[in-house]
Structure 1
Amino acid sequence: MKKVLSIAALALATLSANAQDTAYKITGTVPADVKTVYLGVMNARQPVDSAAVTGGKFTLDGTRQKDELLMIITGDYYLPVFNDGTPIDLNTVAKTFTGSELNKKMYAYDNELSSYTENLNAAIMEYRAASADTTAEGMAKLKELEAKCEQLQDAAITKQIDIVKANKDNLIPVAFLSQLYYILDYNELKELLPETAPYYNHPAMARVKAQLAALEKRMPGKMFTDLSMNDTEGNPRKLSEWCGKGNYVLVDFWASWCGPCRQEMPNVVANYEKYHSKGFEIVGVSFDNKAEAWKKAIADIGMKWPNISDLKGWKSAAAPAYGVNSIPSNVLLDGEGKIVAADLRGDALGEKLKEIYGF
């Protein structure tokens, strides 16, 4: 299933600058069992501020970068707000909020999205509980629940995209694009990140813009980006040894530890065996970080095609070069080395190859 997105995660993205030039003051009321309220910021593993709760009341104050996206954390409640200089008062008991018009709008969206999150979390819990039933009836039920979770996930994502589209004249998209960007394709992301938007140059958009540039490299018609990595014997190899040499080549991004990759591999193997004699080639680019696990998986799966890796896991050079944020993933190149398709999985891979080879 797709990764769950929630409003609680939306503020934890990249912010490159640390200038502290705008004061914040956040007061509020929380339930009696909350003893401490924390303030989180982008790209920080630990809170940057905290306040003890006395009589259900708290106060956070200090200075941070202007318009930085902050996260008010009270127990299991997370609220993203912008540091725009207007004092904030949050009452999680009475469910009231005062602040700037921008932050009041963010609060309203948070409340609206909470129902999506609650429904999705409930469905996930139901899915986990049902996974213990391995009978045919239980497996059928599990499949239904998986579809339900994906539908709820898609609904939440669609809602967040709609919020971005409705707020291209303010900073609110910062909170959503900081998380949505890695599940959007090039055209979707390009539409949501116009250069004229007021949020385009927000520091949090640096990673989003980098992703857009990476995705552009895998658009149909683009030449492949060369990679230099070692093969399983430790020999330096380049994609250009196979790509752009006259044959169609599938550059397949995978890892031995990736369950969905392993599930997809029989399909990849079958297509390789069917079309390799006609010139079809595959080059595996692994996101492994352990050589032995990588080599064992190649043998177990029966990969007869070249495999390379820099053994850096998610820090692999392939990630930024091809905009890879999840695996399995792939790009199909024509004989000249131009990309003709990307992320061909399941039947889509066989259908594309049938279109190319005629059988």
Structure 2
Amino acid sequence: MFKIIVILSYLLAVSVFGIYGQGYEFGFKITGSVEGVKTGSTIFLMDTKNDTICSTKAVDSHFEMLGRLPFEGEMLLLGIVTESGIKKIVPVFVENDKIDIVCDFGSSGNDAVKIIGSSTHNEYVQVVNEESAILEGVKNRFLNESNATGKKIVISEYAESQIRELQGYRIMWILNHPDSYLSPWLLLRYFSESKELFRYFNALSRKALSGKYGKDLKSKMDTERLLAVGSVMPDFELTSVDGNLVKLSKLVGSYNFTIIDFWASWCGPCRSEFPEMKKNFSLFREKGVMVIGYSVDKMETSWRSTVLKESLPWINVIDTNDGANMKYNVEKLPTYFLLDSEGRIVNRFNDNKAIWDFVKESL
């Protein structure tokens, strides 16, 4: 069993009158001792995109790392590469503060890391533990009811109850912790509806919004404002399946309505809606309705083969650079935007039937 005792520390060098989010002069200094790991083993911190923040080699069971986070409360991955090449990783929420970490790579879940000094990580553990208790409570309630009545558990009702109670708990936690760096992380991770995001975003304090995920949430909200109903859809120019460049702003004026269908070849729900999509497209094409299939595939070959296999009759473009998420806040597939002849957003849908019902009523 590998045990790591890590001390994250730095000298606090900021005025008490400083502004949240400015960070500290020296960032963090990480020192630690490693039990059971030989000299030469690599200790590292990386972000969730697998970019290394800092790393070092263990020497006589000790190591030291220096670094600085631009924003507070970021989830990083603390890891070790052993002499045999085995990599072990645990998530930690790090702040520019003095943090003591006891990490046991032989354990799992919340037992794998113990932290003193990072309020964000301790709040994260609190939330995870409470969520586990909620799930256990829902399970026991359904089991007891099933045993008492002799009826089988309806999986859909069970899942809905889990989601409803978890989301209710998260909402109350966010409202009760407006200063926490974890609150915007919870919003980004578990909420996607614009109305909900704006409601709880506005409940957060300046401090919470100054952290890593507060900044990310603010950026997302800024994009959502650009995507409000009545706004002109942000333009794109992408390559179609036949090799031509398609510019949205030059296309929409030729149609009464344009539907942007965000999808991917690996998305089962997206592909399952193609038959109905093709049926409605054939009915409304002559009435001035165009569909643009906006693929978020990373592999162009997968996109092309799927367009061919599914015989998609509309305009098909691909964006391999994550533009759908960055420009249009598309986090669920499929997602549909309905635009008018001026390129203004009429509505946004996650359901194929809903968008065609809207088109039928509007023409």
- TM-score in terms of structure 2 length: 0.66
Q: Residue 318 in 1 paired to residue 324 in 2?
A: yes
Measured after TM superposition, the shift of residue 340 of structure 1 is 0.9
Matched letter for residue 170 of structure 1: S
Farther off after superposition, 82-91 or 337-346: 82-91
Q: Residue 215 in 1 paired to residue 224 in 2?
A: yes
- Gaps (5+ residues) in structure 1? 1-14, 28-35, 53-57, 123-140
Change (3 A) 1:228 1:167: same
Could you say which structure has the larger radius of gyration? 2
Farther off after superposition, 206-215 or 64-73: 64-73
Q: Distance between the aligned counterparts of 1:106 and 1:289, measured in 2?
A: 32
Q: Residue 193 in 1 paired to residue 201 in 2?
A: yes
Q: Would the aligned equivalents of 2:333 and 2:350 in 1 still touch at CA under 8 Å?
A: no
Q: Residue 275 in 1 paired to residue 280 in 2?
A: no
Equivalent residue number for residue 173 of structure 1: 183
| Alignment of structure 1 residues 1-359 onto 2, 5 Å | 20-22=26-28, 42-43=47-48, 45=50, 65=69, 67-69=72-74, 80=93, 82=95, 84-85=97-98, 105-116=123-134, 144-145=154-155, 148-180=158-190, 183-194=191-202, 196-310=205-319, 312=320, 315-357=321-363
SS at match of 1:204: helix
Q: Distance between the aligned counterparts of 2:220 and 2:254, measured in 1?
A: 28
SS at match of 1:342: strand
SS at match of 1:237: strand
- Gaps (5+ residues) in structure 2? 1-20, 34-40, 80-87, 105-109, 141-151
Q: Which has the higher strand share?
A: 2
- TM-score in terms of structure 1 length: 0.67
Q: Distance between the aligned counterparts of 1:208 and 1:50, measured in 2?
A: 32
Measured after TM superposition, the shift of residue 21 of structure 1 is 2.3
Q: Distance between the aligned counterparts of 2:295 and 2:114, measured in 1?
A: 50
Q: Distance between the aligned counterparts of 2:348 and 2:92, measured in 1?
A: 36
Deviation string 1:281-332 (CA, Å, 9 cap, x unpaired) is 111111234444323322332322111224x1xx243332211123211100
Matched letter for residue 176 of structure 1: L
SS at match of 1:200: helix
Deviation string 1:153-207 (CA, Å, 9 cap, x unpaired) is 4533442233222211333314423523xx4222322223237531112133333
Matched letter for residue 335 of structure 2: S
Farther off after superposition, 39-48 or 282-291: 39-48
Measured after TM superposition, the shift of residue 225 of structure 1 is 1.6
Q: Distance between the aligned counterparts of 1:253 and 1:72, measured in 2?
A: 31
SS at match of 1:188: helix
Change (3 A) 1:326 1:42: same
Equivalent residue number for residue 125 of structure 1: none
Measured after TM superposition, the shift of residue 251 of structure 1 is 1.0
Matched letter for residue 221 of structure 1: G
Aligned length: 309
SS at match of 1:337: coil
Over the aligned positions, Cα root-mean-square deviation in angstroms equals 4.5
| Matched-pair identity in % | 22
Farther off after superposition, 231-240 or 286-295: 286-295
Matched letter for residue 347 of structure 1: K
Measured after TM superposition, the shift of residue 229 of structure 1 is 0.9
